[in-house]
C-alpha cells in the first residue's frame, strides 16, 4: 500500500484491514524472523494463555471470549479452538475471515468485522497472520498477542488499546476469497443529480427493497488509467444506507477527494473500483455480506445495504 497517498481514511469506508496493518499509527514493525516466507509456516505454538481462552458463538458470526483478566503475555501464542476440514492455508492465499479482538486488560470486545487477509502478507501484523497461517479452512483460532507483535508502546486509541496492552484475537478462517465482480444494476437504480461545482450530488433511493446482490451501474465511463487490484485510488464519493435512507459519509463536503487502496476498504466498494477507468462515475449497491457483515450489533452499519456514488479521480499502482 502506498501510505503516502492515504489521507485520513473515512471510518465508514475503512475495513478492518486498516487495524491489521503494521507500521500504521506509529506501530512497531513485525519481527522479521517470525514473518512467513514462501510456503514456510510461522513458528507459533499454543500456550497456557491461548488454550485458556473460551470462545463461544456461531462460526463466522460475532463470538464472545472468556478469560482471566488482566491477561498479559510476552510471547505470541496461538491455539486452534475449532479445526476446520478444508485445505490448509498457504502463503499468498487471500482469506475471507472474521476477526474479533478483545482487550487483554478488560476482556471487552475491541472490534469484530469480516475482512480479507493474505496469508504471509508482510504489511500485516504477525499477530493477525498467526491466526490464519497453515490452518485448515473452516478453523477458528485464538491468538494471544503481546504488545511487541501489535500496537507496541503507542497502543491504538481508535479501538481503545492502551500502550503495552496484550490483545486476544479470535479469527474464523471462512474461505479462500474468489474474485468479486459486481453484476450490472438494471432495476431500481437510484436517481442521481449532480450539483454545481463544489456542491454534493443528490441520490434518491427508490421505495423498494434493496438487492441482495452486489450490483453496479456505470453513469459515465472515463478514459483514464484502469484501476488494478491493490491500487491506491482517489475518489469523490457519497454513501447512503438503504436501510435508513440517510447519508452516513461523503467526501464532497470535505472539499477534496479521499485516497485509499482497493484492498483497504469494504469488499464491495473495492470490487466496484477494480477494472474501472479514471474519470468514471458509478453507483453501486452493496449488501451486508460485502460491507460490514450481517450482525447489526458488530458495527453501526452492520446488517445494512449500502449505496455508494463514486467518481474516480486518480489511481496509483501499489508499491
Residue identified by cell 460491507 is: 291
Beta strands 140-145 and 77-82, pairing class: antiparallel
User: How far out from the chain centre does Cα 256 lie?
Assistant: 23
Sheet containing 77-82, strands listed edge to edge, beginning at the edge strand earlier in sequence: 77-82, 140-145, 167-176, 94-103, 109-118
Beta strands 232-241 and 167-176, pairing class: unpaired
For position 22, what pLDDT does the model report?
A: 62
Which ranges of the chain have pLDDT less than 50?
A: 1-11, 23-38
Q: How many other C-beta atoms are found inside a 10 Å radius of the C-beta of residue 297?
A: 11
What CA–CA distance (Å, rounded) separates 290 from 116? 11
Closest CA to 171 of 136, 137, 128: 128
For position 32, what pLDDT does the model report?
A: 35
For position 17, what pLDDT does the model report?
A: 54
What CA–CA distance (Å, rounded) separates 233 from 9? 12
Domains along the sequence of the chain with CATH: 3-176 (3.10.50.40), 183-316 (3.10.50.40)
Does the reported pTM lie above 0.85? no
Tens digits of per-residue pLDDT, 248-284? 999 999 989 999 888 878 889 999 999 999 999 999 9
Q: Which residues contact 179 (CB under 8 A, 6 or more apart)?
A: none
Amino acid at each position: 500500500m502506498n501510505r503516502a497517498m492515504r489521507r485520513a481514511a473515512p471510518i465508514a469506508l475503512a475495513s478492518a484491514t486498516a487495524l491489521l496493518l503494521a507500521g500504521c499509527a506509529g506501530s512497531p514493525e513485525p519481527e522479521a524472523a517470525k514473518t512467513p516466507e514462501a510456503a514456510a509456516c510461522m513458528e507459533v505454538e499454543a500456550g497456557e494463555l491461548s488454550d485458556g481462552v473460551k470462545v463461544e458463538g456461531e462460526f463466522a458470526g460475532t463470538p464472545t471470549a472468556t478469560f482471566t483478566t488482566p491477561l498479559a503475555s510476552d510471547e505470541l501464542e496461538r491455539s486452534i479452538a475449532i479445526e476446520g476440514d478444508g485445505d490448509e492455508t498457504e502463503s499468498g492465499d487471500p482469506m475471507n475471515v472474521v476477526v474479533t479482538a478483545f482487550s487483554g486488560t478488560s476482556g471487552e470486545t475491541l472490534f469484530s468485522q469480516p475482512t480479507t487477509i493474505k496469508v504471509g502478507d508482510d504489511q500485516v501484523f504477525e499477530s493477525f497472520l498467526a491466526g490464519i497461517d497453515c490452518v485448515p479452512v473452516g478453523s477458528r483460532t485464538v491468538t494471544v498477542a503481546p504488545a511487541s507483535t501489535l500496537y507496541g508502546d503507542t497502543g491504538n486509541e481508535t479501538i481503545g488499546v492502551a500502550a503495552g496492552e496484550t490483545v486476544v484475537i479470535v479469527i474464523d478462517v471462512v474461505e479462500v476469497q474468489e474474485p468479486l465482480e459486481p453484476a450490472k444494476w438494471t432495476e431500481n437504480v437510484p436517481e442521481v443529480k449532480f450539483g454545481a461545482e463544489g456542491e454534493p450530488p443528490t441520490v434518491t433511493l427508490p421505495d423498494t427493497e434493496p438487492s441482495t446482490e452486489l450490483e453496479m451501474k456505470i453513469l459515465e465511463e472515463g478514459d483514464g488509467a484502469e484501476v488494478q487490484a491493490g491500487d491506491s485510488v482517489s475518489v469523490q464519493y457519497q454513501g447512503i444506507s438503504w436501510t435508513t435512507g440517510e447519508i452516513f459519509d461523503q467526501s464532497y463536503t470535505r472539499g477534496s477527494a479521499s485516497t485509499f487502496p482497493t484492498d483497504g476498504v469494504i469488499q464491495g466498494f473495492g470490487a466496484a473500483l477494480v477494472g474501472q477507468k479514471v474519470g468514471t462515475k458509478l453507483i453501486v449497491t452493496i449488501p451486508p455480506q460485502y460491507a460490514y457483515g450481517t450482525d447489526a450489533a458488530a458495527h453501526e452499519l452492520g446488517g445494512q445495504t449500502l449505496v455508494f456514488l463514486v467518481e474516480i479521480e486518480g489511481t496509483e499502482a501499489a508499491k
